[in-house]
Amino acid sequence: MTTVFVHGNPMTAAVWEGLLAELGRTDVRLLSPPGFGAPLPGGFDVSPDGYRDWLVGELERLDGPVDLVGHDWGGAHVVGVAMERPDLLRSWVSDAVGMFHPDYAWHELATTWQTPGAGERQVAGLADRPAWTARLTARGMPLAVAERIVDGYDPSLAHAILALYRAAAQPTMARAGRRLERAAARPGLAVLATGDPVAGTLALRREAAARAGAQVAVLEGVGHWWPARYPQRTAQLLRRFWRSLDGVTSTAGAPAVRSRSVRAVPGGSSTARWRPPVRSARTPWPGRAPGSARTPVAP
């Protein structure tokens, strides 16, 4: 069974490397959304629907169905596919299901990006890579991971950030969430990192997960960068979820529903089989992240 990982903003596929080393699997594909560690083709629809359609096109090229895992905006793209094309999936995992709740409110940095002028000034800082590395580590990302992510930024990242967040301003996500029940057509897992302030309240995320028919995995005291900060714990919860699917075929759950045709967007993404990372000479790669399960971690 192929497992596909999709990251979010402002990240590259390097965010998964510690987790994939823990999983020790070879049947893995990493997908980088256009602009986020991969080139942004001219005319690409930089919107939630555009990225969902891009992900549909990428999955159609694989021998499916697949186990699909997403973090941050990657998690939102995963839920979009689960609602629109469940026939491509065996299962899905996301930490962004709360974004589809009608009461979800964008966090402070997102509202800055959504504001003309203020957003442009903020993303101009992407050119200062040491400053962005420091920003990510201050919010809880391991230094080795942050360095690899910032080194992999695509030049179109600033445009992709502004265009995506402005296209996703409410009520866009609330409207998309009206079809959240359709995600129950395949087994889902909603990851609730309790220290993540950008994903919505815990109550809101639980309500959205229930509507999507998803199991819930709680990471107590863990912040936004859970895949990179706690790769061992993340690997354990993914294994438990996938073991729970033993004997479940691609037709499990509610019948797969294909609504309107979704446009596949060719090109623009970085798709690769995962291989063990080349460790940075600057900073030792973190093995298993230290810290108690109940130690608060900055998002």
Asked if residue 281 belongs to a domain, the reply is no
Q: 84 lies in a domain?
A: yes
What is the total count of domains within the chain?
Answer: 1
What CA–CA distance (Å, rounded) separates 217 from 134? 29
Mean pLDDT (whole number) for 25-29: 92
Q: Which residues contact 84 (CB under 8 A, 6 or more apart)?
A: 52, 56, 182, 259, 262
Give residue 248's pLDDT.
61
pLDDT top residue among 14 and 251: 14
**214 part of a folded domain:** yes
Tokens describing residue 192: 């609730």
Residue 286 has pLDDT above 60, yes or no: no
Say if 184 falls within a structural domain: yes
Enumerate residues 6+ apart whose C-beta is below 8 A from 20.
Answer: 5, 28, 274
Domain assignment present for residue 298? The answer is no
Pairing status of strand 270-273 against strand 28-32: antiparallel
User: Residue 89 pairs with which residues in a beta bridge?
Assistant: 66
Band of residue 1 on the pLDDT scale cut at 50, 70, 90: confident
* Percent share of the chain, pLDDT over 90: 79
- The pLDDT value recorded for residue 164 is 98
Q: Is residue 229 part of a domain?
A: yes
Q: Which residue has better confidence, 250 or 123?
A: 123
Domain extent for 232 = 3-273
**Half-sphere exposure of 235 toward its Cβ, with a 13 Å CA cutoff?**
18
Residue 284 lies in a domain: no
- Coil vs helix vs strand at 123: helix
CATH of the domain at 218: 3.40.50.1820
Q: How far apart are CA 258 and CA 255, in angstroms?
A: 10
Q: Is 51 within the bounds of a domain?
A: yes
